[in-house]
Amino acid sequence: MERDASSAAAVRIEGLWKRFGEQVAVAGIDLEIPAGQFIGLVGPNGAGKTTTLSMVTGLLRPDSGRVEIGGHDVWQDPAAVKARIGVLPEGLRMFERLSGRELLGYTGRLRGLPADEVDKRATQLLDVLDLAGAQHKLVIDYSTGMRKKIGLAAALLHNPEVLFLDEPFEGVDPVSAQSIRKVLERYTASGATVVFSSHVMELVESLCSWVAVMAAGRIRAHGPIAEVRGDAPTLQDAFLGLVGVRDLAAGGDLDWLGGGAR
């Protein structure tokens, strides 16, 4: 189906600002995120990724600006937006005294899904994320990677149009990362959109088709990966060029460091 550029945007961000006291965390972002793709939001520590994702998903009120998801305004029409999105926030808080299976059952009912459908989807998600063996364990006893996976399952249960993930692979071992990856690839193949934040460039380069680079609260570059990479050999090189790096070696800093040479 031919779609014009405006209908192809999954998320439309206009003039988004957020300050915390003197600190400007997000300094006027305008961005259209295309639908049906794997999108990476990358930037160094403190760039404003988490603050941006929190405002985009309705968890934090912007000082100014607006966000539209699937044609609905996040702050004017929150119920419509929340029905269409799934979110795995950073430092996810969950009902930890529930088992993994109970958590999914509860989430599914909150989302208004019929009990038998919740049960079917939960079984499939637990299975594909290698959590079937731990489904009756309390979430409080889960490892970091298991928590990310059960959080992802909860975010996917209602089959959202857009899934937002803040650092989904942080603290996750390669085996769990692979099962998360498999689920996300399957999900985007069906036409859904994944937006995830990360500072691991290799990961973004291998997963994403489109990327937005943030630094100091602004978008420095955005577009298809190949376009943003340009002539640089890797996305990492392009990223370092875009955000700027201090050359430690040239400064002669840390000349005392080198535990071997006493």
**Residues near ligand ATP (CB under 6 A):** 20, 23, 25, 43, 45-51, 199
Please say which residue, 46 or 244, places its beta carbon nearer to ligand ATP. 46
241 in Cβ contact with 231 (< 8 Å): no
Name which of 179 and 236 has its Cβ closer to ligand ATP: 236
Least Å distance between CB 221 and ligand ATP? 16
Dig out the tokens for 103 from the structure. 């958590």
CA distances from 164 to 88, 91, 253, 257 (A): 6, 14, 39, 40
User: Quick count: other Cβ atoms within 10 Å of Cβ 241?
Assistant: 13
Q: How far is the CB of 121 from ligand ATP (least distance, A)?
A: 30
User: Is the Cβ–Cβ distance between 52 and 214 less than 8 Å?
Assistant: yes
Say whether 7 sits in a helix, a strand or coil: coil
The least distance separating ligand ATP from the CB of residue 103, rounded to whole angstroms, comes to: 25
* Shorter beta-carbon distance to ligand ATP: residue 100 or 217: 217
Considering beta carbons, is residue 132 or 216 the nearer one to ligand ATP?
Answer: 216
Closer CB to ligand ATP, 85 or 215, in the complex: 215
Q: How far is the CB of 1 from ligand ATP (least distance, A)?
A: 36
To the nearest 5 percent, what fractions of the chain are helix, strand and coil?
40, 25, 35
Q: What is the smallest separation between the CB atom of 211 and ligand ATP, expressed in angstroms?
A: 14
Integer Cα distance of 240 and 237 in angstroms: 5
Place of tokens 């049960």: 119
Element (H, E) at 25: strand 23-34
Q: Are 160 and 168 in contact (CB under 8 A)?
A: no
**What's the closest the beta carbon of residue 226 comes to ligand ATP, in angstroms?**
24
Closer of 52 and 99 to ligand ATP (Cβ): 52
